[in-house]
A and B are shown apart, each in its own frame.
Chain A
Amino acid sequence: MKTIVKLLRKPIAASILAIVVGFIIAAIVLAAAGYAPGPSFAAMFNGMIGRPKYISNVIIKATPIILTGTAVAFAFKTGLFNIGAEGQYILGTICAVIVGVTFNLPPLLQIPLVILAGTLGGALGGAAVGWLKARFGINEVITSIMFNWISLYLCNFVVNTQTFHQPESTSTFPVNPSSYTMILPQWKLSEEGLNALSGTPWLYEVLVKTDVNIGILIAVAAAILIAVLLKRTKIGYEMRAVGLNREAAQFAGINVNRNIVTCMLISGALCGLAGALSVTGLEPHNISTLAAFENNGFNGLSVAFIAGSSPIGCIFAGLLFSGLIYGGQSVQQVMGAPSDIINIMIGTIVFLMALSQIVPMIADRLERKSKGAENA
């Protein structure tokens, strides 16, 4: 009993419990809808990790949500709720496309330039929200939701401008190939590359059939960097202090307003970086008119949430989330089950995370019970 109580007290216990219960509830929903849960989960995991290229796709699709997840987690640790991740991501894609289409420099200059442009775009979007909060005290949740829509329509506006609109399409021109961040983009499709790769099937699959790119390395590095910033630096300490108690931090001589702007700026920059990496690393390397949000930012909220707002945790939560979404499509394909069931499962996991407070409470109760039993 004591070990169970101890295990339940660990922060990760809530996450794992939520995931397990989420799967159980999804199984019940699947069964109730007339789809055998066993084969459905088999299809999902097969679609997730069944072949090298599937794993590669899970990692590729995890890249943006690890970054937006880290951004949301970081903002939360500093006492801010950045629901504007979606908009900042879109701003990142817009700026990356504008710069990537306009300039055509050698890759060594072009790639950093395009990525920096996207990051700056997101950072400005975030900083604007932070400034409005610091200067006028406007709640960041309200402004960032508004900014999401401003970004969406800005995206549609840019897509329809003469300069960037690709004729006969709903999208802009793709960025110049010198901005691509895939691994060996040209070589892998050349005669020579295809011949060299045909010897190793798994490598052929991963390289030729997927847009494998360097984004994941940047995402992981960013998550680690944010964790270090929060835990090991003076700035991070100040930020956490502001997050824990704004008034006390102010009293201790910390410039709260400057901290709010900086935090939102960093959070926005991470989202913008995610957007830029999607543009440079993924087909079709452009932006198109958005009818609705693509959820790269909103999924980041769920990721931050599953990770319990730990930046490092976001790496794993992002991979899990991406796996569920990508593998979930196989359930639809193989079983004919509607994709809604996968969304119910994801929703359940997120919902249960909201109840994570209960887990320590259960631990307390178990402890009291066992103590009561001992005393009696």
Chain B
Amino acid sequence: MQDISRRHFLGTAAAFAVTAGLTACGGGNAGGTGSADAGKSGKDYKIEMVTDTGGVSDQSFNQSSWEGLQQLEKDNGWTVQYIESKQESDYATNLDKAVDDGSNLVWGIGFAMADAVAHSAKTNPEVQFAVIDNAFEDAPKNLIGVTFRAQEPSFLMGYIAARTTKTNKVGFVGGISGVVIDQFDYGYQAGVAYANKEQGTNVEVQGQYADSFSDSAKGKAIASKMYSSGCDVVFHAAGGVGAGVIEAAKEANKFAIGVDRDQAYLAPDNVISSALKRVDKAIVEVSTKIQAGDIEGGTNIDLGFSEDCVGIPEEHKLIDDEVYKAAIELGDKIKAGDIKPPFNKETYDEYIKTL
């Protein structure tokens, strides 16, 4: 009896433990390229990034960041490395390891890491730190916050959605409400309002939050409901939740709009465009400036159309040429400062009055 149950236990436990161990790190396969010998080429500037719990192959900003660093390695011969966080309690210890490794600059990817990076910056004044997606209030001298004006491409997405819809109803699925996602939400709504004004249409926006950045099943449920209630274009700004949104678009044979990266590859016949946040470009640009000493520490950097760090993809086979051209022109107007897309409720209310 003991023998049987023991073997049974061992077998089951092995299976589960191995599966658990393997699924825990499904995201590491892009790793092999961070070669350790690149720094020997004379320019010994070392940059390390610490991912958030999404891992380095998250199809989102962690991956884009790493691509940015790899670009720097190729162009400047700097040493670049990454460390993946598996749990939130890994942030502090991973940042610590990045510092120990003699990095000149350490990137923390994602606003979830902001507190941990700020703490690390305080205790390691000799190392430069930077964070993606977080602006700091009175940061120490060696800390830089990088944010994106995501309302700018979102404005164009709203415009495109409003001019593409046949049902006069478009949707928005947000992740977790907050400063970052508000930019997408209100930028998008403002774009729809702008198109309504210009075209004399009356497109309405349905918005809903998933309260998650990862629950793709919930994203699918929300989007399916939107499609069946008459929306035919849904924009998501919800990280992993968006995979469900795009899945729902595929099944309902309606349109979806992606975020961060060009997500058309997920459903080439359904994803009409994407609100791009070019994190890779931001990493390259900001890192270069920090290395050259062109940025004062303790500041925040805000990136948008003018810096070429947000945008929309060129591919637009599902959008009318005329609409696409109009959107590009709108982008130029934003760049020139003629249109200032709103980024939260107050600025949105003000913007609507000016229309």
Interface residues of A (CB under 8 A from B): 33-34, 47, 51, 53, 57, 61, 72, 76, 79, 81, 83, 141, 156, 160, 167-171, 208-211, 243-245, 278, 282-284, 288-289, 291-295, 298-299, 301-302, 304-305, 309, 325-326, 329-330, 332-340, 343, 346-347, 350-351, 353-354, 356-357
Contact = CB atoms under 8 A, between A and B. Distances in A.
A329 B97 CA distance: 9
Contacts of A79: 5
A74 to B, nearest CB: 13
Contacts of B10: 305, 353-354, 356-357
Contacts of A245: 1-2
The 6 closest A-B pairs by CB, nearest first: A291-B214, A298-B20, A354-B14, A338-B31, A336-B34, A338-B28
Interface of B: 1-2, 5, 7, 9-14, 16-18, 20-25, 28-36, 48, 53, 81-84, 86-94, 96-98, 100-101, 111-112, 115-116, 119, 123, 176, 178-179, 211-215, 240
B13 A351 contact: no
A343 B22 contact: yes
Nearest to A244: B2
25 contacts: A33-B32, A57-B93, A81-B13, A156-B215, A168-B179, A169-B112, A169-B178, A209-B96, A288-B112, A291-B214, A294-B86, A295-B21, A298-B17, A298-B20, A299-B21, A302-B13, A305-B10, A332-B28, A334-B101, A336-B32, A337-B31, A350-B17, A351-B14, A354-B13, A354-B14
B84 A210 contact: no
B123 A209 contact: yes
Contacts of B1: 244-245
A343 B21 contact: yes
Nearest to A57: B93
Contacts of B31: 332, 336-340
Contacts of A309: 9
Nearest to B55: A339
Contacts of B34: 336
Nearest to A189: B123
A257 to B, nearest CB: 18
Given A244-B1, A356-B10, A295 B24 contact: yes
Contacts of A141: 12
Contacts of B17: 298-299, 301-302, 305, 347, 350
Contacts of A81: 9, 12-13
A51 B97 CA distance: 11
A288 B29 CA distance: 26
A335 to B, nearest CB: 6
Contact of A283 (B12, B25, B48, B89): B89
Given A170-B112, A209-B123, A244-B1, A160 B211 contact: yes
B156 to A, nearest CB: 26
Contacts of A47: 97
Given A291-B213, A298-B16, A350-B18, A336 B81 contact: yes
A114 B16 CA distance: 31
A145 B314 CA distance: 46
A52 B88 CA distance: 22
B11 A354 contact: yes
Nearest to A56: B93
Given A208-B123, A244-B2, A283-B116, A333 B16 contact: no
A325 B146 CA distance: 31
Contacts of B32: 33-34, 336-338
Contact of A289 (B18, B92, B119, B214): B214
Nearest to A156: B212
B88 A333 contact: no
Contacts of B112: 169-171, 288
Contacts of B9: 76, 81, 309
Contact of B13 (A51, A301, A330, A343): A301
Nearest to A356: B10
A299 B81 contact: no
Contacts of A339: 25, 28, 31, 84
Given A168-B178, A293-B20, A330-B97, A278 B14 contact: no
A337 B32 CA distance: 5
A298 B20 CA distance: 6
A336 B35 contact: yes
- Candidate in A170, A210, A326 with the most chain B CB atoms within 10 angstroms: A170
A301 B100 contact: no
A335 B82 CA distance: 11
Contacts of A210: 93, 96
B93 A338 contact: no
Nearest to A51: B100
A291 B25 contact: no
Contacts of B7: 357
Nearest to B96: A209
Contacts of A338: 28-32
Contacts of A347: 17-18, 21-22
Given A83-B16, A329-B94, A335-B36, A343 B25 contact: yes
Contact of A333 (B14, B81, B214): B81
A34 B34 CA distance: 13
A278 B97 contact: no
Contacts of A171: 88, 112
B300 to A, nearest CB: 15
A95 B94 CA distance: 28
Contacts of B23: 292
Given A53-B96, A329-B94, A333-B81, A288 B88 contact: yes
Contacts of B240: 291
B214 to A, nearest CB: 3
Contact of A301 (B20, B28, B53, B176): B20
Nearest to A334: B36
A283 B92 contact: yes
A291 B24 CA distance: 11
Contacts of A57: 93
B115 A333 contact: no
Nearest to B83: A333
A34 B32 CA distance: 9
Contacts of A170: 112, 176, 213
A337 to B, nearest CB: 7
A305 B178 contact: no
A170 B28 CA distance: 24
A79 B212 CA distance: 38
Given A291-B214, A333-B101, 13 more contacts: A76-B9, A288-B112, A289-B176, A292-B23, A293-B20, A298-B20, A301-B20, A333-B83, A335-B36, A336-B32, A337-B31, A340-B31, A354-B14
